[in-house]
Structure 1
Amino acid sequence: MRNDPAAQAVNYTLRDEIRDYWSARAATFDQSPGHEIFSEDERQAWHELIEKHLGRGYGRAALDLASGTGVVSHLMDDLGYRVTGIDWSDDMLALARAKATARGRSIRFLLGDAERTLAPDESYDVVVTRHLVWTLVDPQACFREWHRVLKPGGRLLVIDGDFVHTGFWERVIKRIDTLSQKAGWISPQPAHAPAGLADTHRSILSRVHFSNGARADAVGHLLADSGFSVISIDRDLRRIHRAQAAHLGRLKALVRGLQHRYAIVAEKPVNANPSD
C-alpha cells in the first residue's frame, strides 16, 4: 500500500507541490538578481534594512524561515546574529550548507516546515523571512507558530510583496521590454528557472492564500490577529532596488521600483503567553 501510486497521489498536497517547485529551482536560484547578493552596495543596503528594524545581533538567536540557499542567513550572520535557517527543500539545504562551509560560517541549517518549526517555545530573539508569505497556504497558522517561537519582546521581520497585481506603468514597461527583446534592441536575460516551471508556478499561485496578491495591509492585519503588536510597514526599499538595478537591466529595474514591495516589522508583546 505504501508504494501504491494512487494513494501517493491522494496524499500529495499543495504543500508538497510548493516544496518540489522550489527544489526544482534550487540549482539556479542564486543566479537570479533579488535572490543572491551581487554587489557590496546591495549587501550594505540589506544590512541597513535589517539593522533599522532588528538592530545588531550581538549573539542573539535568529531564525531564518524558508532560508533557501542561505542568502538572508548570511546577512544576519554578518550582523552578529546566531542564525538557524530552516527550509523544507533538501536541495536548497544542501546548497545552503555548502555555501556556509565555503565561506567559513557557522550557520545551522535544518529541514523544517515554517508552519511547524518544532522549535521550543520562546527560543528566538528575532524571526526573519523573505518572499515566503505570498506562498503560504495557511498564513495565520504560520504567524501563530512564529509568535510562539519568539521570546517576549522579540521581533519578526517579513520582507515580501504583491507579485500578482500590476499597475498601469508596470504593464507598459513590461510590454516595452518584451517588444524590445523581440526587435533585438536589448538582449534577453538568461532564464534562471528550468523550462516548464512557469505553468507550475501559476497553478500553485492560484491556490495559495494570497492568490490575489499579498498586500502589506492584509498581512499586517493577520499578524495582529495572531498576537503581534507594534506592527509597522516600511515601503521604502529604494536603496536595495537601486543596488540591484545593474544586474536586472534598466527596464526590469524600473518595474521592480514600481511593484508593491515592503518590509513589515512586528513585535511579540512582553507579557504574551507562548500559546497566545
Structure 2
Amino acid sequence: MPQIAHQHNYNLKDEIKAYWSLRAETFDSQPGHEIFSEAERAAWHGLISRHLGPGNGRKVLDLASGTGVVSHLLDDLGFSVTGMDWSEPMLERARAKAKARGRTIRFLMGDAENTMELDSSYDVITNRHLVWTLVDPLTAFQEWHRVLKPGGKVLIVDGDFVNPSPLAKLTGFLARMAARFHIGKQPAHHGPASSLVETHKSILARVYFSNGARADAVVELLKQAGFSSITVDQDLRAINRAQKANFGFLKGLERATQHRYAICAVK
C-alpha cells in the first residue's frame, strides 16, 4: 500500500482524509473498530444508553462514522441515525453494510469541523476516536454546539494514545516481543499496514492534540464552545474485557491501562 505523497497545497486535513481512505479496506477486520462479539455489542450499548438514554427516534449525527460501526449501535437503540464521514471509501463500505443488514441509516460525506447541517437540527452528536485527529477542535466543538438542539447532547469516546502509563509501556513492549518471536496466541491485525505507520506518526505529530488528548483538555474546550453539564466517564471496563479476546492478553491489558474515556456534554 503506497505512502501518501506530500503535494503542493495538500494540507494536513487532506492527509488525514487520504490516510483514513486507505485504512478503509481493512477497517472492519481490526479489533477496536468493528464489533466482534455480542458481549462487546452489549458493552457499547450500555455505555451509550448510560449517557444518552433510549433512542426513541431522536436524531443523532454520528461524526467520523467510518464504516458505520457506531451508527449501527445507535440504530440498535432506536435512534434515527445520520452517519457523516469525509472518506468516500469509508462511506461506500458503510452504505453496503447498512444495505446488507437491512438498516435505514443515512450516510453523508462531510467535515466534522464544518458539517453544513442546519442550526439546531440534531438531538445528539456522537463520535469515536475522532477528537484526537482534529486540526481545530474548538471550531469543531462550536460547530457541534450550533447543530445541536437546545438540551441536546454530544457523546465523545476517545483517549490519549500518545502518553501510555508505565504499565501500558511494559505490556506494549511485551506484546511486540511476543509477536516478533511468535510466542503464544497472536491477536488479529489491529493497526495500520506497515507502509502507513510513518504517515500515521507524521499526522499525529501535527494535530492539535499532538501531546495527547487528555480528558481535562477536551472538557476545557467544550466549555469554551458553550457546553455545560459535562461528565467524564472512564469506566470502559466492560468494553475492554469484551475486546480482550480479540486483542490477546497483553494487547488487551495495554489498552485497558490507557487513558480512555467517554465525555458527555449538554447544549
**TM norm. shorter chain > 0.5:** yes
**Residue 3 of structure 2 corresponds to which residue in structure 1?**
none
Match of residue 163, structure 1, among 161, 164, 174: 161
Deviation at 1:113, TM superposition (A): 0.3
Q: State how far apart, in whole Å, the 2-side matches of 1:143 and 1:216 are.
A: 14
* Residue type of the alignment partner of 2:132: W
Measured after TM superposition, the shift of residue 77 of structure 1 is: 0.3
Alignment of 1:105 with 2:103, yes or no, is yes
Question: Do the aligned partners of residues 237 and 76 (structure 1) sit closer, same or farther apart at CA in structure 2, a change above 3 Å counting?
Answer: same
Distance (Å, rounded) in 2 between the aligned partners of 1:34 and 1:56: 24
Distance 1:190 1:243, change over 3 A: closer
Q: Tell me what 1:47 maps to.
A: 45
Show the 5 A alignment for 1:16-27.
Answer: 16-27=14-25
Amino acid in structure 2 at the alignment position of 1:251: L
Count, aligned residues: 261
**Sequence identity, in percent?**
60
SS in 1 for 2:16: helix
**For 1:113 and 1:61, how far apart are their aligned partners in 2?**
18
Please give the alpha-carbon distance, in whole angstroms, between the structure 1 residues aligned to 2:230 and 2:44: 20
Provide the rounded CA distance (Å) in 2 between the counterparts of 1:55 and 1:181. Answer: 41
What are the within-5 Å matches in structure 2 for residues 108-257 of structure 1?
A: 108-192=106-190, 193-257=192-256
Aligned mates of 2:42, 2:15 — CA distance in 1:
35
* Structure 1 gaps, min length 5: 1-7, 269-276
Counterpart residue identity of residue 65, structure 1: L
SS of equivalent to 1:11: coil
Shift of 1:176: 1.6
Task: Give TM-score, length-normalised by structure 2.
Answer: 0.95
Distance 1:195 1:170 in 2: 22
CA contact (8 A) 1:24 1:194 kept: no
SS of the counterpart of 2:264? strand
> What SS class does the counterpart of residue 38 from structure 1 fall into?
coil
Give the counterpart letter for 2:259 in structure 1: H
Q: Is the 8 A contact 2:187 2:246 kept in 1?
A: no
Give the SS at the match of 1:32.
coil
Cα distance in 2 for residues equivalent to 1:103 and 1:84: 16
One-letter amino acid of the structure 1 residue matched with residue 68 of structure 2:
G
Partner of 2:87: 89
Of the three residues 20, 25, 29, the one matched with 1:31 is 29
Would you say the 8 A contact 1:231–1:264 is kept in 2?
yes
SS at match of 2:65: coil
Q: Which secondary structure does the structure 2 equivalent of 1:9 belong to?
A: coil
Deviation per residue, 1:232-260 (Å, 9 max, x gap): 10000000100111111000111111000
The residue aligned with 2:59 is 61
How far does the alpha carbon of each residue in 1:133-167 deviate from its partner, in whole angstroms, 9 at most, with x for none? 00000000000000000000000000000000011
- What corresponds to 1:77 in structure 2? 75
SS at match of 2:8: helix
Q: CA deviation at 1:190?
A: 4.6
Distance 2:150 2:17 in 1: 31
Mean CA deviation greater in 177-186 or 201-210: 177-186
In structure 2, what residue type is equivalent to 1:88?
A: W
Given that residues 134 and 213 in structure 1 are in contact (C-alpha distance below 8 angstroms), is that contact kept between their aligned partners in structure 2?
A: yes
Shift of the alpha carbon at 1:178?
2.2
Q: Distance in 2 between matches of 1:34 and 1:142?
A: 24
Give the TM-score of the pair, scaled to structure 1: 0.92
RMSD: 1.2
Q: Which has the larger radius of gyration?
A: 1
Partner deviation per Cα, 1:41-70 (whole Å, 9 max, x = no partner): 110110010010001111110000000000
Return 5+ residue gaps in structure 2 as ranges.
Answer: 1-5
| Contact persistence 2:125–2:153 (CA under 8 A) | yes
Shift in Å, 1:10: 2.7
Aligned partners of 1:70 and 1:183: how far apart in 2?
A: 35
